[in-house]
Amino acid sequence: MSRPEPKLDQDGFPVPERWEPTEDKRRSAYKNGNPFKKRWVRAFVMLVIVFGVATMLLKDQFPNIMAQWYMQAAVEDLNNGNLESALSNSEGVISWLPEDPRGYYLRAELHREMGDLDAALEDYDKAVELRSNWLPAIAGRANLNLRMKNFEAAVADNTRAIRLSSEAQEAMYRNNRAYARALGGFELEAGLEDVEAAIESREQDLEYDPGDSMAKLDLSAYLDTRGYLLHLLGNDERALEDLNRAIELTEEAYTRGLGPLAPQGIETNPAIKQQLDESLAVMHEHRALVHEKLGNAEAAKTDHERAQQLGYDPDAGVF
């Protein structure tokens, strides 16, 4: 029998049979890895995970952040009267959030302000397509359709706006729908029902707060709508009463102010003054038509001239 080969230790020396091989104590501490190294590895892995999650979150939010930046820049440009720059920034909103209706709505408003009505209508349509129950886009398109003399479309949009509006807003959209019918010359009785409901609503507001300047201004617009409808329906005596009162209430706004809309007075806010001038221009033109029908030629001439002085211009949307 051959002699068995001796067992050797890890350094190559024979191991006596009565001994068990022992590990090198210097290396035993590293049998399961360096504990400091393991902690560093865990920290690194956690850092990678946190960084990855933060990156994903930022990636999701980055388009919103950029769109919001462009939105604020556009609004600032608009307030400063820089429409071209505002339009460019509105396109930035759309480029970052192409499925968000707000960018299209903003660009529609700017196109309308700049006189590009077809482009404005296209953007309003896109905004409504993306969010079919979004009131600002529907109401904006209704006003644009009125200006473009798409009266039936304006009635349809205001009908949708009425369904979506609050009780406080409903009167305004009822008046707008009535005026679209009046300008289109159809469904005049239905228009009269709408505007009478709107007038009743604002008169109730004034019973509660007789000093409500905005309710008075709304009421003047609604009285103008009813006066025009009554004229179209052949009731010019009553139409004249409404239009006289509408003009009186609007003229009062120049002196009584409009509360938070122009806290320093109408003359200090050119945009508000222009809106008042244009509203008053339309009222004078309507009253001129009534005076003509009643045979008051001199009064009709005076009202026509006053309407022109204040900016009555159907081609510019003041009608």
User: Looking at the domain assignment, is residue 184 inside a domain?
Assistant: no
Distance from chain centroid for Cα 78: 14
State the chain's mean pLDDT as an integer. Answer: 86
User: Looking at the domain assignment, is residue 245 inside a domain?
Assistant: yes
User: What gap in Å lies between CA 259 and CA 213, rounded to an integer?
Assistant: 7
pLDDT at 19 over 50: no
pLDDT at 29 over 50: no
User: What gap in Å lies between CA 154 and CA 184, rounded to an integer?
Assistant: 10
pLDDT at 78 over 70: yes
User: What gap in Å lies between CA 295 and CA 242, rounded to an integer?
Assistant: 18
135-147 vs 117-130: helix crossing angle, rounded to 10: 150
pLDDT at 254: 78
User: Looking at the domain assignment, is residue 120 inside a domain?
Assistant: no
Q: Which residue intervals of the chain are DSSP H helices?
A: 25-28, 35-79, 83-96, 101-113, 117-130, 135-147, 151-164, 167-184, 188-208, 213-232, 236-256, 270-294, 297-310
User: Looking at the domain assignment, is residue 112 inside a domain?
Assistant: no
Choose between 212 and 124: higher pLDDT.
124
Residues 122-127, mean pLDDT to the nearest whole number: 98
User: What gap in Å lies between CA 192 and CA 229, rounded to an integer?
Assistant: 7
**Percent over 70 (pLDDT), the chain:** 77
User: What gap in Å lies between CA 74 and CA 137, rounded to an integer?
Assistant: 18
User: Looking at the domain assignment, is residue 252 inside a domain?
Assistant: yes
Q: Which of 49-58, 78-87, 110-119, 151-160 has the lowest mean pLDDT?
A: 49-58
Bridge partners of 318, per DSSP, are: 313
pLDDT at 62: 85
Residue 318 backbone phi and psi in degrees, to 5: -100, 90
Bridge partners of 8, per DSSP, are: 14
User: Looking at the domain assignment, is residue 270 inside a domain?
Assistant: yes
Q: What range does the domain containing 249 cover?
A: 211-319
User: Looking at the domain assignment, is residue 183 inside a domain?
Assistant: no
The total domain count for the chain is 1
Bridge partners of 313, per DSSP, are: 318
Choose among 5, 22, 23: nearest CA to 14.
5
pLDDT at 28: 46
Q: Is 63 helix (H, G, I), strand (E, B) or coil?
A: helix
pLDDT at 218 over 90: yes
User: Looking at the domain assignment, is residue 75 inside a domain?
Assistant: no
